[in-house]
Each structure stands twice: as C-alpha cells, then as structure tokens.
Amino acid sequence: MLVTGGTSGIGAGIAQGFLEAGAEVIATGVSRGEVDKVREAMAPADCRVLDVRDGRAVEALVGELGALDVVVNCAGIIRRVDEFESSVFEEVIDINLTGTMRVCTAARPLLARSRGSIVNLASMLSFFGGGLVPGYSASKGGVAQLTKSLAIAFAADGIRVNAIAPGWIQTPLTAALHQNEDRSRAILERTPLKRWGTPQDLVGGVLFLCSPAAAFITGSILAIDGGYSVV
C-alpha cells in the first residue's frame, strides 16, 4: 500500500496501523530530511521522498511498483492567515487537492488490476467554513467532492474510493490550536467525547474502508471526530 504524507502526523499514524496489520507499506514525505528523520522509527515501511505537486515524480514512483492494493492520500499543508495571499492559496490547493488527484489517477491502472481502494483525507472543514483557512477549507471541500466523483469514475475498474473526515486530531499541524487554552477548551466543549483525537484513532476507519467488510461502500465520507460534527 501507498500512504502519501505518511512520514508525519495523521499519515504516519495510518502507515503504522497498516504495518501492524501486516501490510507492506510505502510511506512518502516531501523532503529527504523528513524521510531520513523517521526512516528507522518507521521500519519496515519503505520511506520515500515525494512532492505531490510534481506530476512526473508521482507517475515515476507509482510506475516503479509491481502491484498496489491501497492508496491513502494524506499529503497536505495548512497555512492559516497566509492563505489569503493568492500564491499561498494556490499552493495549498495544489498540494491538498490537485496532489490527491495526481496520485489517484497515477495509481488507477495498478489499482484496477487488484480491484483495490483509495482513501482520501477530507476534514471537518469539508463541511464547515474556516475563516482563517480559506485555502485549506476549499481544498478539503474539494477532496470530498473529488472522492465522490472518482468513486463514480473508477467503479467500472472495481476500485472503491472513499474518504475519512477527521475531527480535531493532535498533530504538528494542530499544535498551535491544541496549545491555545481558550481554543482547545472551545473544541473540547463541542466534542461529545471530550478529548482531542490521535492519529491512531483514525486507523480503524481506514482499515475498514480498505477491507472486504466495506466491499459495497464507495463515495462515502466517514467522519471520525468524536461527535464534533453532530452537535
């Protein structure tokens, strides 16, 4: 299986979960430094460098694989207030949304052979607006609609395409919010389970969506959010 953005945060948690389930995992990070930093800790995962903005690099990596059963797209960034700058907005869209599309289309032939599955990383901001993160919110809204569209387009190949929508997960990307006492309190007050999530909390949902138990599920966006979205 291939996990983009699999060397940090949510992606690393999902990659580790699949390793523990017995899968052969390729986990990608955006830079050599990021990959080298975690290579030993993530063994036996095959950690590689991949910038999902580079279509040729995406095609080259996938082209080296003899077989592929699962793709999980976790590569992503958030730039908060800076996203009001058009260049930053475009970069967020290019990585989070267009990068997901590049990986999905490159992987399609191999996944068709295995009748495999794709899980994309949506967000609570696929459903809600984010006043400080217009690029991130737009990209994650796009990921939700891309997931539904590819579920239709890839169904003839036997490929299922779903997404998870995490709630507030404690990762480096959310560190500023988690460390802000007022903001963290507001999040916990709205979350029925009254805690922040961890990357490990997402593993079960992704494993399920990629398993035979989900054989009749495609185009779904599974919220894994401690109940945040139902309040």
Delineate the domains of the chain, giving CATH numbers in brackets. 2-230 (3.40.50.720)
Distance from C-alpha of 106 to C-alpha of 213, rounded to nearest angstrom: 26
For the chain, what percent of residues have pLDDT higher than 90? 97
What tens digit of pLDDT does each residue of 124-170 get? 999 999 999 999 999 999 999 999 999 999 999 999 999 999 999 99
Q: Which of 136, 154, 196, 228 is catalytic?
A: 136
The verdict on whether 228 is a catalytic residue reads no
Measured in residues, the chain has a length of 231
Q: What is the pLDDT of residues 38-96, one digit of tens each?
A: 999 999 999 999 999 999 999 999 999 999 999 999 999 999 999 999 999 999 999 99
